[in-house]
Protein backbone atom coordinates (compact mmCIF):
# COMPACT_ATOMS: atom_id res chain seq x y z
CA UNK A 1 0.00 0.00 0.00
CA UNK A 2 1.31 3.41 -0.93
CA UNK A 3 1.77 5.88 1.88
CA UNK A 4 -1.21 8.11 2.57
CA UNK A 5 -0.44 11.74 3.24
CA UNK A 6 -1.55 13.35 6.52
CA UNK A 7 -5.10 14.73 6.38
CA UNK A 8 -5.87 12.88 3.13
CA UNK A 9 -9.25 11.85 4.48
CA UNK A 10 -10.52 10.59 1.13
CA UNK A 11 -7.60 8.15 0.78
CA UNK A 12 -8.04 6.82 4.31
CA UNK A 13 -11.76 6.36 3.59
CA UNK A 14 -10.93 4.52 0.35
CA UNK A 15 -8.65 2.21 2.35
CA UNK A 16 -11.47 1.58 4.84
CA UNK A 17 -13.80 0.83 1.92
CA UNK A 18 -11.28 -1.66 0.47
CA UNK A 19 -11.26 -3.40 3.85
CA UNK A 20 -15.06 -3.44 3.99
CA UNK A 21 -15.10 -5.37 0.71
CA UNK A 22 -13.23 -8.22 2.44
CA UNK A 23 -16.18 -8.80 4.75
CA UNK A 24 -18.50 -11.62 3.71
CA UNK A 25 -21.88 -10.41 2.42
CA UNK A 26 -24.69 -11.40 4.79
CA UNK A 27 -28.29 -10.26 5.18
CA UNK A 28 -27.82 -9.58 8.89
CA UNK A 29 -24.95 -7.09 9.03
CA UNK A 30 -23.25 -4.20 7.28
CA UNK A 31 -19.89 -4.70 5.62
CA UNK A 32 -17.75 -2.00 7.25
CA UNK A 33 -14.06 -1.16 7.15
CA UNK A 34 -12.07 0.78 9.76
CA UNK A 35 -8.58 2.30 10.00
CA UNK A 36 -7.01 3.68 13.20
CA UNK A 37 -4.30 6.31 12.61
CA UNK A 38 -1.71 7.95 14.88
CA UNK A 39 -2.11 11.61 13.92
CA UNK A 40 1.34 12.57 15.24
CA UNK A 41 3.20 10.12 12.99
CA UNK A 42 0.53 9.39 10.35
CA UNK A 43 1.11 5.69 11.05
CA UNK A 44 -1.71 3.22 10.60
CA UNK A 45 -2.02 1.51 13.97
CA UNK A 46 -4.66 -1.06 13.03
CA UNK A 47 -7.25 -1.96 10.45
CA UNK A 48 -10.37 -4.05 10.66
CA UNK A 49 -13.46 -5.12 8.82
CA UNK A 50 -16.77 -6.73 9.74
CA UNK A 51 -16.40 -10.42 10.64
CA UNK A 52 -12.62 -10.33 10.21
CA UNK A 53 -12.20 -12.01 13.59
CA UNK A 54 -14.25 -14.86 14.98
CA UNK A 55 -17.61 -14.09 16.50
CA UNK A 56 -20.04 -11.46 15.35
CA UNK A 57 -17.30 -8.82 15.14
CA UNK A 58 -17.62 -5.30 13.76
CA UNK A 59 -14.84 -3.41 11.98
CA UNK A 60 -13.98 -1.05 14.85
CA UNK A 61 -14.07 -3.95 17.29
CA UNK A 62 -11.58 -5.89 15.13
CA UNK A 63 -9.18 -2.91 15.06
CA UNK A 64 -9.22 -2.64 18.83
CA UNK A 65 -9.07 -6.38 19.50
CA UNK A 66 -6.01 -6.73 17.26
CA UNK A 67 -4.32 -3.76 18.95
CA UNK A 68 -5.02 -5.19 22.39
CA UNK A 69 -3.48 -8.50 21.38
CA UNK A 70 -0.47 -6.76 19.81
CA UNK A 71 0.17 -4.79 23.02
CA UNK A 72 -0.63 -7.66 25.37
CA UNK A 73 -3.41 -5.84 27.19
CA UNK A 74 -7.16 -6.20 27.57
CA UNK A 75 -9.16 -4.07 25.18
CA UNK A 76 -10.41 -2.05 28.16
CA UNK A 77 -6.78 -1.04 28.92
CA UNK A 78 -5.78 0.09 25.43
CA UNK A 79 -5.85 3.79 26.32
CA UNK A 80 -2.78 3.22 28.52
CA UNK A 81 -0.60 1.99 25.64
CA UNK A 82 -1.78 3.91 22.60
CA UNK A 83 -0.61 7.28 21.23
CA UNK A 84 -2.17 10.46 22.55
CA UNK A 85 -3.57 11.81 19.27
CA UNK A 86 -5.46 9.33 17.08
CA UNK A 87 -8.21 9.30 14.47
CA UNK A 88 -10.51 6.49 13.41
CA UNK A 89 -11.79 6.22 9.85
CA UNK A 90 -14.85 4.03 9.42
CA UNK A 91 -17.07 3.60 6.40
CA UNK A 92 -20.25 3.50 8.52
CA UNK A 93 -20.89 5.39 11.75
CA UNK A 94 -20.02 3.26 14.82
CA UNK A 95 -23.01 1.41 16.22
CA UNK A 96 -24.62 2.48 19.47
CA UNK A 97 -26.49 -0.78 20.04
CA UNK A 98 -25.71 -4.40 19.24
CA UNK A 99 -28.61 -6.76 18.74
CA UNK A 100 -26.17 -9.64 19.35
CA UNK A 101 -25.51 -8.49 22.90
CA UNK A 102 -21.90 -7.55 22.14
CA UNK A 103 -20.54 -4.23 23.40
CA UNK A 104 -21.44 -1.49 20.90
CA UNK A 105 -18.58 -0.02 18.90
CA UNK A 106 -19.40 3.45 20.21
CA UNK A 107 -18.67 2.23 23.75
CA UNK A 108 -15.42 0.61 22.61
CA UNK A 109 -14.32 3.86 20.96
CA UNK A 110 -15.37 6.00 23.94
CA UNK A 111 -12.88 4.10 26.11
CA UNK A 112 -10.19 5.88 24.09
CA UNK A 113 -11.61 9.39 24.59
CA UNK A 114 -8.77 11.76 25.31
CA UNK A 115 -6.41 10.07 22.87
CA UNK A 116 -8.83 9.22 20.09
CA UNK A 117 -9.83 12.73 19.12
CA UNK A 118 -11.83 12.32 15.94
CA UNK A 119 -13.88 9.74 14.06
CA UNK A 120 -14.23 10.21 10.32
CA UNK A 121 -17.29 8.47 8.84
CA UNK A 122 -18.37 7.79 5.28
CA UNK A 123 -22.09 7.43 6.04
CA UNK A 124 -24.41 7.51 9.02
CA UNK A 125 -25.67 4.10 10.08
CA UNK A 126 -28.78 3.20 8.09
CA UNK A 127 -31.78 2.30 10.23
CA UNK A 128 -32.09 -1.24 8.83
CA UNK A 129 -31.20 -3.05 12.07
CA UNK A 130 -31.24 -0.39 14.81
CA UNK A 131 -33.31 2.74 14.46
CA UNK A 132 -32.08 6.02 15.84
CA UNK A 133 -28.37 5.25 16.21
CA UNK A 134 -27.07 7.61 18.88
CA UNK A 135 -23.41 6.80 18.21
CA UNK A 136 -22.47 10.22 16.88
CA UNK A 137 -24.00 12.02 19.87
CA UNK A 138 -22.44 9.62 22.38
CA UNK A 139 -19.00 10.13 20.84
CA UNK A 140 -19.41 13.89 20.81
CA UNK A 141 -20.56 13.83 24.44
CA UNK A 142 -17.25 12.08 25.23
CA UNK A 143 -15.21 14.81 23.53
CA UNK A 144 -14.66 12.88 20.29
CA UNK A 145 -15.43 14.83 17.12
CA UNK A 146 -17.37 13.05 14.39
CA UNK A 147 -16.73 14.30 10.85
CA UNK A 148 -18.37 13.15 7.63
CA UNK A 149 -15.99 12.50 4.71
CA UNK A 150 -18.06 13.17 1.60
CA UNK A 151 -17.71 11.62 -1.82
CA UNK A 152 -18.11 7.86 -1.44
CA UNK A 153 -21.56 7.51 0.09
CA UNK A 154 -23.22 5.51 -2.68
CA UNK A 155 -20.29 3.10 -3.01
CA UNK A 156 -20.05 2.67 0.78
CA UNK A 157 -23.76 1.84 0.99
CA UNK A 158 -23.49 -0.55 -1.96
CA UNK A 159 -20.66 -2.44 -0.25
CA UNK A 160 -22.23 -2.21 3.21
CA UNK A 161 -25.52 -3.74 2.12
CA UNK A 162 -24.20 -6.44 -0.22
CA UNK A 163 -25.95 -9.64 0.76
CA UNK A 164 -29.05 -7.88 2.07
CA UNK A 165 -32.35 -9.01 0.63
CA UNK A 166 -33.56 -6.35 -1.74
CA UNK A 167 -37.20 -5.72 -2.53
CA UNK A 168 -38.20 -7.94 -5.41
CA UNK A 169 -40.78 -6.96 -8.02
CA UNK A 170 -44.00 -8.93 -7.91
CA UNK A 171 -43.83 -11.96 -10.16
CA UNK A 172 -47.03 -12.62 -12.04
CA UNK A 173 -47.86 -16.28 -12.65
- Cα 153 to Cα 155: distance, rounded to the nearest angstrom: 6
Strands (E), the chain: 33-38, 43-49, 86-92, 116-123, 145-148
Task: Write the Ramachandran bin of 12: left for phi over 0, alpha for psi from -120 to 50, otherwise beta.
Answer: alpha
**Domain containing 99 — which CATH number?**
3.40.140.10
DSSP string, 107-152: HHHHTTBTTEEEEEEEEPPPSSSSSS--HHHHHHHTT-EEEE-TT-
pTM for the whole structure? 0.91
Query: Between the CA of residue 170 and those of 113, 163, 167, 173, what are the distances in Å?
Result: 49, 20, 9, 10
The answer to the question of residue 166 being in a domain is no
pLDDT tens sequence across 40-56: 999 999 999 999 999 88
Q: State the residue range of the domain holding 88.
A: 9-128+141-160
The answer to the question of residue 3 being in a domain is no
- pLDDT over 60 (residue 113): yes
Least confident of 7-16, 19-28, 74-83, 96-105: 96-105
Q: Which residues are catalytic?
A: 60
pLDDT tens sequence across 119-156: 999 998 766 555 667 888 999 999 999 999 999 999 99
* Domain tally, the chain: 1
CA 151 and chain centroid, separation: 17
- Cα 47 to Cα 36: distance, rounded to the nearest angstrom: 6
- Cα 137 to Cα 126: distance, rounded to the nearest angstrom: 15
Overall average pLDDT of the 67-89 stretch: 96
The answer to the question of residue 134 being in a domain is no
Which residues fall within 8 angstroms of residue 78, CB to CB, at 6 or more apart?
Answer: 64, 67, 68, 71, 111, 112
Amino acid sequence: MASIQPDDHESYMRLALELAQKSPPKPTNYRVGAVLVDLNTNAILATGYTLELSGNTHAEQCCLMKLAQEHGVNEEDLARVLPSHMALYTTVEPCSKRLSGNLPCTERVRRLAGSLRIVYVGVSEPETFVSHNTGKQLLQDSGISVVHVPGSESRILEVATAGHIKDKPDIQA
